[in-house]
């Protein structure tokens, strides 16, 4: 059914365009890692550049600011962020994803 395949790729292209339009500032890798963070962290933290954290105790990712530079966040993500609040589950990132996550977090920090 070639018409079906064509329809589906058109729909896919539309979705890709929409996603690209909404997050112009993010490259493919940053969008990938945002998807990961949405899934793993999004039930507590505001992961994007807008919105409130679902858990009022969890800071919005865009508000971390200097924290991302002061501490070795890439290492902490790999070690499992265990130093954090007990309410927060332990996550372990591989080296690649940890670096990508911190890169993303830096990109979304509010400009001051
Ligand atoms: C079940 C809820 C929950 C989830 C899921 C969660 N967090 Fe948190 N997180 C919190 C809370 C609550 C705090 C505030 C703790 C505090 O500062 O005492 C926090 C604080 C933080 C901090 C700042 C504290 C510090 O020591 O720098 C970072 C960074 C962080 N979270 C990253 C993440 C990442 C990355 C994920 C996903 C991989 C995640 N969190 C998932 C609840 C959560």
Q: What span, in angstroms and rounded, lies between the C-alpha atoms of 4 and 102? A: 40
Q: Residue 16 — pLDDT band, cuts 50, 70, 90?
A: low
Q: What residues does each domain of the chain span? A: 27-108
Query: CATH fold of 27-108, please?
Result: Cytochrome Bc1 Complex; Chain D, domain 2 (1.10.760)
For 56, residues 6+ apart whose C-beta sits below 8 A from its C-beta are none
Give per-residue pLDDT as tens, 79-92: 877 555 667 777 88
Q: What span, in angstroms and rounded, lies between the C-alpha atoms of 17 and 11? A: 10
Give per-residue pLDDT as tens, 91-109: 889 999 999 999 999 889 8
The angle at the Cα of 63, spanning 60 to 67, to the nearest 5 degrees, equals 115
Q: Are 49 and 108 in contact (CB under 8 A)?
A: yes
84 CA to middle of ligand 1, Å? 7
Q: Are 55 and 43 in contact (CB under 8 A)?
A: yes
Ligand 1 site residues, Cβ closer than 6 angstroms: 37, 40-41, 43-45, 55, 57-59, 67, 81, 83-85, 87-89, 91
Q: Whose CA is nearest to atom 5 of ligand 1?
A: 41
């Amino acid at each position: 059914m070639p018409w079906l395949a064509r329809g589906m790729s058109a729909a896919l292209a539309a979705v890709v365009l929409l996603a690209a339009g909404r997050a112009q500032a993010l490259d493919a890798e940053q969008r990938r890692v945002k998807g990961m963070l949405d899934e793993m962290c999004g039930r507590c933290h505001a992961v994007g550049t807008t919105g409130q954290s679902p858990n009022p105790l969890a800071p919005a990712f865009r508000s971390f600011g200097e924290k991302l530079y002061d501490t070795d966040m890439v290492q902490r993500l790999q070690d499992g962020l265990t130093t954090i609040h007990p309410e927060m589950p332990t996550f372990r990132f591989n080296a690649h994803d940890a670096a990508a996550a911190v890169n993303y977090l830096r990109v979304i920090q509010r400009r001051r």
